[in-house]
Amino acid sequence: MFKKQQQKAGDSSQQFQAEQMTVVTGIDEKRAREIVDEKLGETIKNYSLESQKIAEERIQLFADDLIPKLVKNSLLNGLKEPSVQMLLLDAQKTAASTERATDYSLLSELLIHRVKKGDDRNIRAGISRAVEIVDEITDEALLGLTVAHSVVSFMPALGEIGKGISILNDLFSKLLDDDIFSLPKGYDWLDHLDILNTIRVSHLGNMKKLNQYYSEQLSGYVDVGIKKDSENYTKAHELLQQVDLPSTATLVEHELRLGYVRLPLVNKDNIDSLSLTKNQVIINSGQVLTIPVNQELNRKQKDTLNEIYELYENNQQLKNENITKFIEIWDSYDSLKKVHDWWDNLPQSFTITAAGKVLAHVNAQRCDPSLPPLN
């Protein structure tokens, strides 16, 4: 059997008839490669014949890294944006100028960030500058920039001290995985980064020592806590009962101080983002299943946790001892010990610019894809 198709149309109109028609809107992978090839012609036209072949091969390596990432992240339609195509042209020029394989990956990650964060003009400006200098930054300087950015940008979310330090060790182990390059020393790499506008060197003061910096950022790890069987310990349990919070999960053994308990927090500010995990029992096809469900704390429960934090013993000597124990655990990991020694011997204080943050972040994500996106 055949189904008769009929159409009517007015003057000057077009008619299409088909048993099955597939209309593709947007940019697919084939079209994305065509766009790259179109820009390729613009990029290499000013090179000599001898250089064109080399430039084309390098740009192809960059494209082979970029296109699959655009596909994986469903970002192919980002290539419609004229400003993204202009950045693609700049990235191709940089790719043509470098023989370093990791640069192609960095450039593709910068393009991905540009498509994702296109509405943020500050990030856009940083990405544009980063694309320009990928082929100029030395391997050692990039490593130093990435580690410095990671120290100030990535903190563990877990309140368990041992696991939190282990998470940081996993990160820095990946950043320092390449035995070819060592963390840079002296002033030259800082001058190099300053010239590239990825950092701003300050001649006033020095960087905080690592133990001071992390004891401030991870204060929930090193604050003294509440002594067991004390008056405040009893009061804390009473407060938890009043707001229906389980004492055993809310007050945990202090890993740095025997005989004390603490809230499982990275720092006090985390209280507002805490949630409570409760087991929910459901019956499915006659089977009883227990499913953990995260439940956000209400305002009264959060206020109670803040009140309990204020019950912590305020003893600077004990806190200093906790910081010492924290650093001892830190230094027991080879990668963290390297970061500690390097950081404490930085010769000058510096801040990382927008371009430096973008470049360091995409390089960190290249080493550890599980890292969160740049904010």
Residue that terminates a domain, selected from 290, 313, 336: 313
% of the chain exceeding 70 in pLDDT = 88
On whether residue 8 sits in a domain, the answer given is: no
Same domain for 206 and 343, yes or no, is yes
Does pLDDT of 8 surpass 70? no
pLDDT in the model for residue 248: 86
Same domain for 213 and 329, yes or no, is yes
Would you place residue 22 in the very low, low, confident or very high pLDDT band (cuts 50, 70, 90)? very low
For the chain, the three-class secondary structure string (H helix, E strand, C coil) is: CCCCCCCCCCCCCCCCCCCCCCCCCCCCHHHHHHHHHHHHHHHHCCCCHHHHHHHHHHHHHHHHHHHHHHHHCCCHHHHHCHHHHHHHHHHHHHHHCCCCHHHHHHHHHHHHHHHHCCCCHHHHHHHHHHHHHCCCCCHHHHHHHHHHHHHHHCCCCCCCHHHHHHHHHHHHHHHCCCCCCCCCCCCHHHHHHHHCCCEEEECCCCCCCHHHHHHHHCHHHHCCCEECCCHHHHHHHHHHHHCCCCHHHHCEECCCCCCEEECCCCCHHHHHHCEEEEEEEEEECCEEEEEEEEEECCHHHHHHHHHHHCCCCCCHHHHHHHHHHHHHHHHCCHHHHHHHHHHHCCCCEEEECHHHHHHHHHHHHHHCCCCCCCC
pLDDT in the model for residue 108: 95
pLDDT in the model for residue 178: 65
Average pLDDT over residues 298-320: 96
Does pLDDT of 363 surpass 90? yes
On whether residue 266 sits in a domain, the answer given is: yes
On whether residue 259 sits in a domain, the answer given is: yes
pLDDT in the model for residue 173: 95
pLDDT in the model for residue 208: 93
Does pLDDT of 313 surpass 60? yes
pLDDT in the model for residue 281: 62
Average pLDDT over residues 12-31: 59
Same domain for 196 and 338, yes or no, is yes
On whether residue 338 sits in a domain, the answer given is: yes
115-119, 305-309, 346-350: the lowest-pLDDT one: 115-119
Average pLDDT of the chain, as a whole number = 88
Same domain for 39 and 79, yes or no, is yes
**pLDDT per residue as tens digits for the range 265-307:** 999 999 988 777 666 666 666 666 666 667 788 999 999 999 9
Same domain for 332 and 286, yes or no, is no
Same domain for 67 and 90, yes or no, is yes
Average pLDDT over residues 175-190: 87
Would you place residue 17 in the very low, low, confident or very high pLDDT band (cuts 50, 70, 90)? very low
Same domain for 155 and 280, yes or no, is no
**pLDDT per residue as tens digits for the range 209-229:** 999 999 999 999 999 999 999
φ, ψ (nearest 5 deg) of residue 14: -110, 145
Using DSSP bridges, classify how beta strands 260-262 and 226-227 pair: parallel, antiparallel or unpaired. antiparallel
pTM attached to this predicted model = 0.84
Does pLDDT of 157 surpass 70? yes
| Structure tokens that stand for 165 in this block | 């330090």
pLDDT in the model for residue 191: 96
Q: Range of 274's domain?
A: 225-313
Same domain for 42 and 186, yes or no, is no
On whether residue 23 sits in a domain, the answer given is: no
What's at 136, amino acid-wise? E
**pLDDT per residue as tens digits for the range 191-206:** 999 999 999 999 887 8
Does pLDDT of 5 surpass 80? no
Same domain for 151 and 122, yes or no, is no
Same domain for 196 and 343, yes or no, is yes
Same domain for 127 and 38, yes or no, is yes
On whether residue 12 sits in a domain, the answer given is: no
pLDDT in the model for residue 136: 96
Identify the burial level of 148 via C-beta atoms within 10 angstroms of its C-beta, where 0-12 means exposed, 13-18 middle and 19 or more buried. buried
pLDDT in the model for residue 284: 65
pLDDT in the model for residue 348: 92
On whether residue 20 sits in a domain, the answer given is: no
pLDDT in the model for residue 15: 46
pLDDT in the model for residue 204: 80
Average pLDDT over residues 21-46: 79
Same domain for 92 and 179, yes or no, is no
Residue 282: how many other CB atoms lie within 10 Å: 9
User: How many domains is the chain built from?
Assistant: 3
Residue that terminates a domain, selected from 118, 136, 154: 136
On whether residue 10 sits in a domain, the answer given is: no
Contact assessment for residue 112 and residue 73, using Cβ atoms and an 8 Å cutoff = yes
pLDDT in the model for residue 260: 97
Residue that terminates a domain, selected from 113, 136, 159: 136
